[in-house]
Structure 1
Amino acid sequence: MSTRAEPTRKEVERTAHSIHPGEWRVDRQRPIATLLGSCIAVCLYDPRLKFGGMNHFMLPSSDPDKAQDDLLRGDYAMEVLVNAMLAQGAQKTRLVAKVFGGGNPVSAIRMSIGENNARFAREWLAREGIALQACDVGGPWSRKVLFEPHGGAAWCKRILGSMAVADEVVREETEYARRLVTPATTAEKKIELF
């Protein structure tokens, strides 16, 4: 029987697979990372099978008045993450969650996108009976999140006052918002088969 030492945050960060707005990933070994502003990342973990996943979404649900890609909505992002974990043997009754993001790192943005996202994530998890183990949402900062899916550990670094990070978050979220309101052509749609 071999024992596995828990990885340090630096080891997790060095080997992590980064996800961006509108993406998700389930893994058994490789850590997952993302950078958040008003977006939310939900980490799900099955403690018995020792694997997990993370998603990254910007809006809770679709607006019926706008054409939006289903893959970019929070309600869809949650369903696809849970279903991907169930497909690998997880049981919904064992899943536990950690929620991060929902901040307002750019003071010029006076909308409550982050607050709405955080409320949606908590309500969705409660409705589905998934225990919320940790939550770091809101505030005037961006966040870098690292998730180690084998052991379920997550690290959240709050980033305040860094214009370079704020610019990167705004750039990613602006591009994501553009994709939400502009229907993608067939050539632009990214489909992951598994």
Structure 2
Amino acid sequence: MIHQTGKDFERIARNINPGGWAIEAERPISTLLGSCVAVCLFDPVLKMGGMNHFLLPTTSTGNTDIDVILNGDYSMEVLVNGLLSKGAKKPRLLAKAFGGGTIISSIRMAIGERNAAFANEWLQREGIKLIASDFSGPWSRKVVFVPQNGDAYCRRIPTTQASAIDVARAEQEYERMLTEKKKTTVKKIELF
């Protein structure tokens, strides 16, 4: 038997972006986090799991569709409901959670801490056991989750001011892209 490492799984993983989520039974799932949080949920009986990636704990005051898909409230509900629709049972779900870094403290206004606190509170409120976590700190993280067995690999990436700005720009660009996509897919109705 060949022992696989996080890097082996990373090469074949399905990557998710901020606001994204995925459920898999075979393929690993990965994401890159700054102040965002990713929660991995695993059903040990079905040997299936999923991961999400959220930017904000709850919907911002704008309450747009883009706000909704980027927030933890939505992200946690859609992940749990997706697993339940595939036969998972909520009492069996186990969680591992990562992220919430403070990579740009002056810009993000402790959003990483708020994201981590939200994930902990949400899981506790829903009765889902958090069995492992790696939150906070001045670094970004690469997370790879293996849904077949619930293993998760987390690599802390030292963050310089320049790389922190790059991560923030990437998050902002992704949000802008979602907003533009939303604008172009809105269909107008013409009354006659």
What's the TM-score bracket when you normalise by the shorter of the two chains? 0.7 to 0.9
Q: What's 2:25 paired with?
A: 28
Q: Deviations over 1:47-95 (max 9, x none)?
A: 1111100000000111245534322221000000001000111000000
**Residues 109/87 of structure 1: CA separation in 2 closer, same or farther (3 Å cut):** same
Q: Deviations over 1:111-139 (max 9, x none)?
A: 11000000000000000000000110111
Higher mean Cα deviation, 162-171 or 13-22?
A: 162-171
Q: What's 1:121 paired with?
A: 119
Q: What's 1:45 paired with?
A: 42
C-alpha separation in 2, matches of 1:87 and 1:135:
26
C-alpha separation in 2, matches of 1:101 and 1:181:
24
One-letter amino acid matched to 1:52: G
One-letter amino acid matched to 1:106: I
For the residue of structure 2 that corresponds to 1:93, the secondary structure is helix
RMSD of Structure 2 on Structure 1 (CA) = 2.3
Q: Give structure 1 stretches of 5+ with no counterpart.
A: 189-194
Residue 101 (structure 1) aligned with residue 60 (structure 2): no
Residue 11 (structure 1) aligned with residue 12 (structure 2): no
**1:1-194 paired onto structure 2 within 5 Å:** 7-69=4-66, 70-109=68-107, 111-161=109-159, 165-178=163-176, 184-187=182-185
C-alpha separation in 1, matches of 2:74 and 2:4:
31
Report the alpha carbon displacement of residue 185 of structure 1 after superposing the two structures with TM. 1.6
TM-score by length of 2: 0.86
Aligned-residue sequence identity (percent) comes to 55
Q: What's 2:190 paired with?
A: none
Q: Give structure 2 stretches of 5+ with no counterpart.
A: 187-192
Q: Bigger radius of gyration, 1 or 2?
A: 2
Report the alpha carbon displacement of residue 182 of structure 1 after superposing the two structures with TM. 7.8
Q: Deviations over 1:100-158 (max 9, x none)?
A: 00001235425110000000000000000000001101111000000001010001011
For the residue of structure 1 that corresponds to 2:53, the secondary structure is strand
**Residues 180/117 of structure 1: CA separation in 2 closer, same or farther (3 Å cut):** farther
**Residues 41/110 of structure 1: CA separation in 2 closer, same or farther (3 Å cut):** closer
For the residue of structure 1 that corresponds to 2:183, the secondary structure is coil
TM-score by length of 1: 0.86
Number of aligned residues: 185
2:104/2:161 contact within 8 Å kept? no
1:67/1:181 contact within 8 Å kept? no
